[in-house]
Each structure stands twice: as structure tokens, then as C-alpha cells.
Amino acid sequence: MSFDWMHICSASETSPCVQPIQVAYLAALLLGVVIFAVAAARSKHLGTATLTLIPVAIAINIAMGSIVSYLHLPIYLDSVGTVLVGVLCGPLAGALTGLLSNLVWSILPLPGGGGPTIAFFAPVAGVIGLMAGFWGARGVFRLRAGDERVGSFLAVATGVAAAAVALLAVQQTIGIPNVGGTQDDQNRFVVMSVAILAVAVVVAVVSRRTVLAFRPDDRRISPSLVVATSLAAGVIVLAIVRLLFGPTGYFSTVNGDPTILNGANLTGFALPDPAALIAALVVAAVAALGAGFWASRGENARLFPVWIGGLTTGLVAAAISAPIAAGVFGGVTGSGTDALVALFRTLGLNVFQSAFAQGLTSDPLDKTISYTVVFLILSALPVTVRTMFVRGEDTVTE
């Protein structure tokens, strides 16, 4: 990798360079960085501790993201530092960390960087920081397993599950409209999206006010949380196993291409269906049972709200990144997620639909893993260290 791309393209130039419209976009991003920095400074979120943590967080983002990019994994893991800052220092500091991470990475000759591509997704990184601050303030990293507020997180999970079922029903019946097609198709896509969102909201609200309307010290809280943790763990493990070992998973793409892992061939690890699906379901079932047993001990089940924070952050990130990936890069960004985009294209989806489907596959899992890593980091930090930061109190178990 080199810095040869860091100049404005001429009229007929085809070599790596920056298009004039990209220059305007990057200039707007820099302006956004300045605005967030000023806002964070005025809100007293940029104290000495925060200014010390942000460079460390940026380094974590770039290091982990570069490793994942080099391995061509179908996830990112480039927002752990952003989530950490958002939780400890507030949403503005988190957003600033995300923006700076992508901009700095774009000028470094590292895997995933060395070009303007990653910079275009800086707004997504900024939103991830904002949402991390939001969820941190809601106490996802400090709720006890018996807290009645757990009902709200269970309700969110129920709403997301309802939306997934509704989306699957639409896809299997009337089909998903082509957002890049006619005006009628675009209108149908908007109506469908609003309808699915409405289903999620209604299910979440109704469940929160009925079966999940817990009272303080309600005996139903702990069993409900254990079951939810068990099911969530099973889904997470199933997704990971399928993304890695499925017939179209990660290992099936490492097929001797010299641009991936120096030409390694790992296709032998890709298993054909139905054997692969059965094996994944068995592994997921074992993981679910193990997680249920683990969650029933002590305060372990309090990890579930953390997963909900990661899940919802991933869904929002997918919704924002899909138009960028499809509209600017045609769905191909040079990362490991390109294999998923190509897979969805072979299933008959258009560029936007494929980019969105890839985002819905990778982002929720990626952010759930990132939130889990941050949870483990916070658990390892002494309380005195966490409380040095503006929002550190929000990570101390009540």
C-alpha cells in the first residue's frame, strides 16, 4: 500500500486517486469532526482522561480493523475503541472517536486503509459512538440481573424478533421491492420498511406493558433473563458458525486467491449443506444450553442488555452503511464482507438489497461482539479507573 491515491483525479485518470466529489465529502467529514470536538469540549466531555483515552481507542480500532481486514473476515471489529469511549466519556466523545478513527485509518498504509474507502464510512462510525453513549447512559453495562428495567431490554429483543419475522414473511410472499427501480418500487419499499418498523414498535410496547411489565424484585425477571440469554447465545453462535463454516461462508472464499492470506486455501473447512446446517444447529443448541446454565449463576445474565445494545447499534449501522456501500462503491468495498454481497447478488438481489442484506448479516453480529469485548474490558478495569471518566459511574454495577 502507498499514499499515491492522495491527490485529486484528473479528467482521464484511472489510477488510484480522489474524485472531486469525494474531496467535498471528506471536507464535510472534517467539518463534522470539528463540530463534534467543539460540542464535546463545551459539554465538558473532553477532559484530560478522555483526551488520553481517545488516541488509545483509535489505535485499538485501527489495529483490530486492520487484522480483520487482512484476514478478510465477514465482520469488522473496528469499533471496540469507539464503544469504549462512548460508554465511558459520553456520546459526543464516542462519535468524535469513530470519525477520527476512520479518517486516520484512511491515510495509513494498513489493511483496510491506504485509501478513501474507509473514510466514507466515518459517519457510520460516528453514529456507533453516539449509540454507545446512549446505551451506556441507559445502564446496559451495570444493570443487575434482577433489575425491573430488564423488561425494557427484553421488549426490545421481542420487537426485533417480530421485525425479523415480518421481513421474512414479506420476502417469502410479495418480495422486497427494488429501491433502485421505478418510483412505484421505491414507494413500496418505503411503505414496507415503515410497516415492519411499526410491527416492531407495537410488539415491543405491548410486550413491555403486559408480560414484561416487571415490578421491583419480581420473581419472573431472573428466569426470563436466563431464557433470553440462552436463546441469544444460541443465535449468536449459529450466526458465527454459518458465517465461517457454511457452504458460502468465510472459509469457502479463502480458495487460493493470492490477495487473501497470501494464497492460502482453506476451502476444506467449508462444509456442504445439509450437514453444515445440522452441525451448526447442534453447536448452537449446546451453546444455548451452556449459556443458560452460566446465566443462571450469580449476575452473569446481565450480559443480555449489553447484547441488546450491540444488536440495535448494528441494525442502525447497517441502515446507514448500506446506501454508502451501494451508491458509492457498488457494494464492493474490498473487505471480507464483499463475499456476502456477492452471495446475495447470486440470489437475485440488486446492489442495494445485497448491501443491506450484508449489513443486516454482519453488523448486528459485529457490534454485539464489540459490546461484549467492551463489557469484558470494563469488568477487568478497577472501579477507580472507570470513575475517572465523565460517564464512568454508568458502568459501576448498582
| In a shared domain, residues 42 and 100 | yes
3-state secondary structure of 8: strand
Q: Which residues contact 72 (CB under 8 A, 6 or more apart)?
A: 250, 253, 254, 260, 261, 335, 336, 339
| In a shared domain, residues 131 and 156 | no
pLDDT for res 47 = 85
From 77, 78, 76, 96, select the one nearest 86 (Cα to Cα). Answer: 96
| In a shared domain, residues 132 and 14 | yes
Among 213, 234, 265, identify where a domain stops: 213
| In a shared domain, residues 27 and 164 | no
| In a shared domain, residues 115 and 93 | yes
Share of the chain above pLDDT 90, in %: 43
Phi, psi angles (nearest 5°) of residue 12: -115, 10
> Which residues span the domain enclosing 313?
1-144+309-317+370-398
| In a shared domain, residues 139 and 155 | no
User: Is the bond leading into 123 cis (omega within 30 degrees of zero)?
Assistant: no
CA–CA gap between residue 177 and residue 272 (Å, rounded): 31
Given a cut of 90, whether residue 353 has pLDDT beyond it is: no
Question: What mean pLDDT do residues 147-169 have?
Answer: 91
| In a shared domain, residues 11 and 107 | yes
Q: Which range among 18-27, 134-143, 284-293 has the greatest average pLDDT?
A: 284-293
pLDDT for res 99 = 92
| In a shared domain, residues 129 and 183 | no
| In a shared domain, residues 128 and 194 | no
Given a cut of 60, whether residue 198 has pLDDT beyond it is: yes
Tell if the pTM clears 0.85, that is, is over it.
Answer: yes
| In a shared domain, residues 76 and 110 | yes
| In a shared domain, residues 64 and 138 | yes
3-state secondary structure of 210: coil
333 in a structural domain: no
Given a cut of 60, whether residue 86 has pLDDT beyond it is: yes
Q: Which residues contact 26 (CB under 8 A, 6 or more apart)?
A: 18, 103, 116, 119
Number of structural domains in the chain = 2
Buried b (16+ CB within 10 A) or exposed e, 58-90: bebbbebbbebbeebbbbbbbbbbbbbbbbbbb
From 326, 1, 67, 22, select the one nearest 180 (Cα to Cα). Answer: 326
Radius of gyration of the chain (CA): 22
Where is average pLDDT lowest: 93-107, 287-301, 349-363?
349-363
Query: 255 forms bridges with which residues in the sheet?
Result: 265
pLDDT for res 308 = 94
Contact 122, 87 (CB under 8 A): no
| In a shared domain, residues 107 and 192 | no
Given a cut of 90, whether residue 199 has pLDDT beyond it is: yes
For 252, the grid coordinates are 469457502
CA–CA gap between residue 77 and residue 241 (Å, rounded): 17
Tell me the pLDDT tens digit for each residue of 245-257.
Answer: 988 888 988 888 8
Tell me the pLDDT tens digit for each residue of 44-81.
Answer: 778 889 999 999 999 999 999 999 998 888 889 999 99
